[in-house]
Amino acid sequence: MSTSASQQVEIHDIPEAAAEPQVQRHNFLIMALYQISLRCGWIFKTESIVMPAFLDALGVSAWVRGFLPLFNRFGQSVPPMLLASTVAGTKQKKSIVMSTMLLFSVSFFAIGFLWNLYAQESWMPALFLLIYALFFMVVGVHNLAARSVQGKLIRANRRGRLMLAGNVGGAIASVALAYFLFPKWLPAGGPHDFFGMFAFAAVMFMVSAFIALLVIEPADPRTKPTQRISKAIQDAKLTFQQDARFRRIALVGALTNTSIMLFPHYQPIAKEYLHLSLDNLMPWVIAQNLGMAAFSLVLGPIADLKGNRAVIRLLLIVMIATPLLGLFLIHQPWGGKVYWIVFVLVGMTPFSIGILFNYTLELTEASNHPRYLATLGLVVAIPAALSPLVSYSMDFFGSPTPLFSAVAILLVIAWLLTFRLPEPRYGETLPQK
């Protein structure tokens, strides 16, 4: 949609107190370091590689793996929706970022200790899934607070640059750590030391927590939070009713996030069809993180110069190719040699979520960011709620083809819908009827 064909609206930016050049430089650096340290922990618990391997070590089937994306998206949608008013009413959101990061650390220390003590117990998978569900509830609140801080402190035309710095710097640091530490903890011949891996992730989450405190964040007026579920639902309904642009990005986001349902299955189908062992985890993790960094180098500047709509459109082309390439390679005798390419592309799904939220930040002023972000998080979680059911299709059909093909079709529909999105960076809105 061209700007000339649409009504001009206000472009929302950061408060004046955070706009001074020295404050901008300081906050940009601190937030980049925060993202880098977070990536150094997250690489040792990736949902597409490490956590499915951990569940395999516990001896579970495909439908149980399907709970990983369900907990991922439920935790990042429902708790943020319920606590959006609490986050909005907090004077400094960085305090929430720190406290939730410390809970990240506690969660993975707990999982590591339980693995050491009870790995062979029949109830261990259920207990792990319970802790993992609680972990992602904390992740949801953390992400809401962290994105609110970013929307409050970093200018719209610098958020792509921040994503680039965090992804590239994070990839370099985390890949170096993975190269040296993965063979130590997950050697090809075993035994597998998931305790060491998860304990290291916990330490890096703790480091991130204290880095987050260093941002210079002007205090917001404290408001009394509304805890009622009915109020949270009312806020979500209000967001949909008031902003047609939000309704469109929400639909695109929901369809885009169907790709997360495939995350737990890329590693196991390679193991089943191509007979690849755990010694491939390290190069796959490295490929995924370097792929995200490489795409960031291209897409970050595009987001700053052209807006997030263009980046969403480009990302969806890559995401459409990912399940189709995975299906193709598992049926080739040489597929194992190049299967790492799949994980280069898989890294685009979490990248796309960040771009969707950056797009949403530009639709409204900072005071509404928690409400908008929480509502979008709820909508994009809807496909993940079906993950255990659709993952069972792999057990039922004895093949990943129906599930992977269906997700590719939904991603094509999402790509087509991006051509109906306005670009808020340039003040585009929808034509008046």
Show Cβ contacts of residue 201 under 8 Å, excluding neighbours closer than 6 positions. Answer: 41, 42, 44, 45, 108
For the chain, how many structural domains are there in total?
A: 1
- pLDDT tens digit at each of 433 positions of the chain: 444 444 444 445 666 666 678 888 898 999 999 999 999 999 998 887 888 888 888 877 777 888 888 888 788 778 887 787 788 888 888 999 999 999 999 999 999 999 988 888 889 989 999 999 999 999 989 988 998 888 888 887 788 788 888 888 988 999 999 999 988 887 766 677 889 999 999 999 999 999 999 998 888 777 776 656 777 778 888 888 888 899 999 999 999 989 988 988 898 888 889 888 767 788 888 888 888 888 878 888 888 888 899 999 999 999 999 999 999 999 999 999 999 999 999 878 877 888 998 899 888 887 788 888 888 888 888 887 788 888 888 888 888 999 999 999 999 999 999 999 998 877 666 654 4
pLDDT value, residue 268: 86
pLDDT value, residue 319: 94
* CATH number of domain containing 208: 1.20.1250.20
Question: How would DSSP label each residue in 371-433?
Answer: HHHHHHHHHHHHHHHTHHHHHHHHHHHSSSHHHHHHHHHHHHHHHHHGGG---GGGT--PPP-
Domain span including residue 186: 18-426
Q: Is residue 10 part of a domain?
A: no
Q: Is residue 31 part of a domain?
A: yes
Position 17: which residue type? A
pTM value > 0.85: no
Question: How would DSSP label each residue in 234-262?
Answer: HHHHHHHHH-HHHHHHHHHHHHHGGGGGG
Spatial distance between the Cα atoms of 51 and 13, rounded to a whole number of angstroms: 38
pLDDT value, residue 67: 84
* Residue 146 phi, psi (nearest 5): -65, -40
Spatial distance between the Cα atoms of 98 and 278, rounded to a whole number of angstroms: 34
Q: Is residue 11 part of a domain?
A: no
245: closest CA among 432, 377, 429, 368? 429
Q: Is residue 431 part of a domain?
A: no
Apex CA 365: angle with CA 168 and CA 145, to 5°? 50
Q: Is residue 7 part of a domain?
A: no
Q: Is residue 1 part of a domain?
A: no
Q: Which phi-psi region, left, alpha or beta, contains residue 215 (left: φ > 0; alpha: ψ -120 to 50)?
A: beta
Q: Is residue 85 part of a domain?
A: yes
8 A C-beta contact, residue 204 and residue 38: yes
pLDDT value, residue 13: 62
User: 420: exposed, middle or buried (C-beta count within 10 Å: 0-12, 13-18, 19+)?
Assistant: exposed
Provide the greatest CA pair distance for the chain. Answer: 66
8 A C-beta contact, residue 278 and residue 328: no
Spatial distance between the Cα atoms of 370 and 55, rounded to a whole number of angstroms: 34
pLDDT value, residue 177: 93
Q: How far apart are the first and last CA of the chain?
A: 15
Q: Is residue 433 part of a domain?
A: no
